[in-house]
């Protein structure tokens, strides 16, 4: 059976890297530093995947406009003190290597900034597996479809031959807006019930299940 897809695009935080708790905790710590309203865990996790400024505006909507710049700085202080130790999800490396060896083009579409993504790719040794990446710093933030449009254009792949893998409703909405299929990872930032509402092709709990799904469906 021939391949169903030519390009598989991964979200990063909460999908490939187990960073959800650290991102949410860093948002909350930054708010405490500046005596701002601290979002609860659900609100802090919900914004993961958006660009940082957009995420903070959603998570802390009552902050004065002048506070967002220092809030970004405090978030980065807390996150960067921990990011070198953030692990990949179990099975992520093996799954990505298997897809690469099978001849798929691989991409990343993330709300991280470019420096943060490159630092993460280098720290985990996965940079050489990805043919192209897009960050929220380079183009429009999710769920605007620009990231996927640009990746497909760069790699010469049509929407019907592209698959998006992510852990949030932002990722699935990105896929829908770009006219591509989406698979949801249940181990990340958004609860399964919210992911199911967007009707992904599959909702898998971990990379072991994702590898099996790829072998049967991709």
Enumerate the active-site residues: 11, 13
Distance CA 123, CA 118 (A): 8
Answer for the pair 148, 154: CB distance below 8 angstroms, yes or no: no
- Closest to 76 measured CA to CA, from 23, 118, 20, 136: 23
Distance CA 9, CA 178 (A): 12
- Cβ-proximal residues to 216 (8 Å cutoff; 6+ apart), any chain: none
Distance CA 210, CA 171 (A): 16
Distance CA 211, CA 9 (A): 15
Alpha helix ranges (H) inside 66-143: 68-80, 92-101, 114-124
Distance CA 212, CA 214 (A): 5
């Amino acid at each position: 059976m021939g391949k169903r897809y030519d390009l598989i695009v991964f979200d990063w935080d909460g999908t490939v890297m187990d960073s959800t708790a650290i991102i949410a905790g860093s948002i909350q710590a930054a708010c405490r530093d500046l005596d701002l309203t601290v979002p609860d865990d659900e609100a802090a996790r919900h914004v993961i995947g958006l660009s940082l400024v957009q995420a903070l505006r959603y998570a802390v909507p009552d902050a004065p406009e002048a506070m967002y710049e220092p809030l970004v700085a405090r978030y980065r202080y807390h996150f960067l003190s921990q990011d070198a130790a953030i692990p990949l999800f179990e099975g992520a490396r093996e799954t990505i290597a298997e897809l690469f060896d099978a001849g798929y083009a691989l991409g990343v579409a993330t709300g991280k900034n470019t420096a943060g993504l490159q630092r993460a790719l280098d720290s985990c040794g996965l940079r050489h597996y990805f043919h192209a990446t897009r960050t929220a710093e380079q183009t429009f933030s999710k769920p605007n479809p620009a990231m996927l449009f640009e990746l497909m254009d760069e790699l010469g792949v049509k929407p019907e031959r592209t698959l998006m893998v992510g852990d949030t409703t932002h990722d699935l909405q990105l896929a829908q807006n770009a006219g591509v299929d989406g698979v949801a990872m249940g181990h990340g930032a958004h609860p399964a019930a919210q992911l199911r509402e967007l009707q992904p092709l599959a909702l898998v709990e971990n990379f072991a299940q994702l590898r099996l799904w790829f072998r049967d469906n991709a």
